[in-house]
């Protein structure tokens, strides 16, 4: 039986990244089992052009999940990183030769390191100790310098990023406090979801783990303006560290959310959020594993937490709930999947 060519296999993988439900990159020429294939004319552009257009799946009845883990750099943060850096360039805040510095629990650091590599900037990632080693390794692979500041909570790293951002030659996007973060989700991710959602479906609620709050708030604004003005929006946080609901701060296993403080963005828009949903770390990890073994979705613990929150909202009467699969499982190999390292 003829085997698909390399171009076909690469096209399938890139097609999945671009959100084509058939897994085919539409602009790539494909052929099978030809002894002398014609010259391939590769699309122009960069990997940044592949950000977005991720699939929207109804993974369970009434639960709609946006597969943001398929973005380049492996998470939903690719959108925000590109948007913030583009806006900073347009406003003259970021110039050739500058160093981008940002505090992160990992995914934003990975995403900004990727964008910086493509655009030719230096990147300094400030990351607390206590997160998966893969997060550090990925940023370094993109050429970034990584400094560990503090333990697990991002407060100290954020203070240092702001301090450095005021120095000549540095720019700090301040993801936790930058309204461009909300703007990106309102003008890019939200409308993209509405284009993919079947016309017969009315979303009743949205739930999302809060790192910065930008996704939850921005997407909710878009959906309320153009889809359902009564949409309910819920913030997801760990049971062990209910910072938003109770002011609790503690270590937990749902990396990327509940970073030890109430983000400035969330504080400003908290009146637009209808409530919080607390999910235990162990349950989020179990749901993460189930997403892989029953749906083929290799994702991280925050995706498991989001799924459980969506299920809870469904049980409470919301017919259709939107949530997000935020980052890829490859960022958690050693912690959860490698022999001898399973938590």
**Is 77 noted as a catalytic residue in this protein?**
yes
Q: Report strand pairing: 63-67 vs 56-60.
A: antiparallel
Q: Please state, rounded to an integer, the average pLDDT across all residues of the chain.
A: 88
Whole-structure pTM value: 0.86
Per-residue pLDDT band at 34 (split at 50, 70, 90): very low
Nearest to 265, CA basis, from 205, 321, 189, 183: 183
* Cβ atoms within 10 Å, residue 146: 19
Per-residue pLDDT at 231 exceeds 70 = yes
CB 210 within 8 A of CB 197: no
**Is 302 noted as a catalytic residue in this protein?**
yes
**Cβ burial, residue 63 (10 Å; 0-12/13-18/19+):** buried
Q: What's the rounded Cα separation, in Å, for the pair 59 and 288?
A: 13
Tokens of 28: 């790539």
Strand order through the sheet with 99-103 = 145-151, 122-129, 99-103, 170-171
Q: What's the rounded Cα separation, in Å, for the pair 244 and 241?
A: 9
Q: Which of 75, 302, 303, 331 is catalytic?
A: 302
* 69 Cβ neighbours under 8 A, 6+ residues apart: 75, 76, 297, 298, 299, 300, 303, 325, 326, 327, 328, 329
pLDDT of residue 41: 45
Q: What's the rounded Cα separation, in Å, for the pair 304 and 87?
A: 32
Per-residue pLDDT at 29 exceeds 50 = no
Per-residue pLDDT at 30 exceeds 60 = no
Q: Report strand pairing: 275-279 vs 205-209.
A: unpaired
Q: Which of 66, 73, 75, 77 is catalytic?
A: 77
Per-residue pLDDT reduced to its tens digit, 277-305: 999 999 999 999 999 999 999 999 999 99
């Amino acid at each position: 039986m003829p085997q698909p060519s390399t171009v076909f296999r690469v096209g399938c993988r890139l097609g999945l990244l671009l959100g084509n439900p058939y897994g085919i990159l539409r602009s790539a020429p494909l052929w099978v089992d030809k002894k002398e294939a014609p010259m391939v004319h590769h699309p122009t552009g960069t990997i940044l052009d592949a950000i977005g257009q991720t699939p929207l799946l109804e993974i369970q009845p009434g639960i709609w999940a946006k597969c943001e883990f398929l973005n380049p750099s492996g998470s939903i943060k690719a959108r925000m990183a590109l948007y913030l850096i583009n806006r900073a360039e347009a406003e003259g805040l970021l110039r050739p030769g500058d160093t981008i510095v940002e505090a992160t629990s990992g995914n934003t650091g990975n995403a900004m390191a990727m964008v910086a590599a493509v655009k030719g900037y230096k990147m300094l990632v400030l990351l607390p100790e206590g997160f998966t080693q893969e997060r550090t390794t990925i940023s370094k692979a993109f050429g970034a310098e990584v400094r560990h500041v503090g333990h697990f909570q991002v407060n100290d790293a954020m203070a240092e990023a702001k301090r450095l951002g005021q120095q000549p030659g540095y720019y700090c996007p301040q993801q936790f406090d930058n309204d461009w973060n909300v703007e990106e989700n309102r003008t890019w991710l939200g409308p993209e979801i509405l284009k993919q959602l079947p016309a017969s479906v009315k979303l009743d609620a949205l739930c999302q783990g809060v790192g910065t709050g930008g996704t939850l708030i921005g997407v909710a604004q878009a959906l309320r303006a153009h889809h359902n003005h009564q949409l309910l929006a819920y913030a997801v946080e760990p049971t062990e560290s209910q910072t938003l609901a109770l002011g609790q701060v503690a270590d937990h296993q749902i990396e990327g959310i509940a970073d030890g403080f109430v983000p400035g963005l969330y504080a400003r828009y908290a009146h637009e959020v209808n409530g919080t949903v607390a999910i235990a770390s162990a349950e989020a990890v179990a749901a993460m594993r189930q997403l892989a073994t029953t749906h083929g979705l290799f994702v991280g613990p925050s995706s498991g937490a989001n799924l459980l929150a969506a299920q809870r909202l469904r049980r409470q009467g919301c017919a259709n709930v939107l949530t997000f699969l935020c980052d890829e499982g490859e960022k958690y190999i050693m912690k959860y999947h490698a022999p001898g390292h399973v938590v």
